Amino acid sequence: MVKRFCSKLSVLILALGLCTACTTQNTAQLTSVGSSKSEVGGRMVASLGIMVSGLRLSSVGYMLDFRYRVIDPEKATALMDSKIKPYLLVEATGAKLQIPNTPKLGLLRQRPRNNAMLKKDHEYFIIFSNLGRRLQSGDKVSVVVGETKIENLSVE
């Protein structure tokens, strides 16, 4: 009974968070590639071929929504590799926040269907768990993807 309630609650929180993430527009998303009005928005990560659009709290603070725009599809394929597990590293404590894996949706990480190539100038997302709402707006984190570490990102 408790497991069933928790499962329904997690699906509800996830759905609410995805709705919030889809309807919320942030100034970091609206900045052009050449300018960066936010600490996070507009940061180029050449080794991954992406531009970070933002890192925002979502789902009433229980999730973190990491958005990025693909600049070089060939380099960005590392983000889509199922063997590489990206995680969020909290700089103050060293805690690692993983990507949630739900029974119905799987990993909350956007990937192209049927091993298609990534689209240039298309925005993708990764949702990280923030259980216990450890992170708050303004906290500094790093996103780690394989050997690449995107440091000093500020949660919006």
* Structural domain span for residue 85: 2-154
Ranges under pLDDT 50 in the chain: 2, 5-6, 9, 12, 14-40
Taking the whole predicted model, whether its pTM rises above 0.75 is answered as: no
**pLDDT, tens digit (0-9, with 9 covering 90-100), for 42-54:** 778 888 899 999 9
Give rounded-to-5 percent helix, strand, coil for the chain.
30, 35, 40
pLDDT recorded at residue 115? 57
| The pLDDT of residue 32 | 29
Report CA-CA distances (Å) from 54 to 21, 102, 118, 119.
Answer: 11, 23, 19, 19
> Per the structure, how many domains does the chain have?
1
68 token code pair: 């990025």
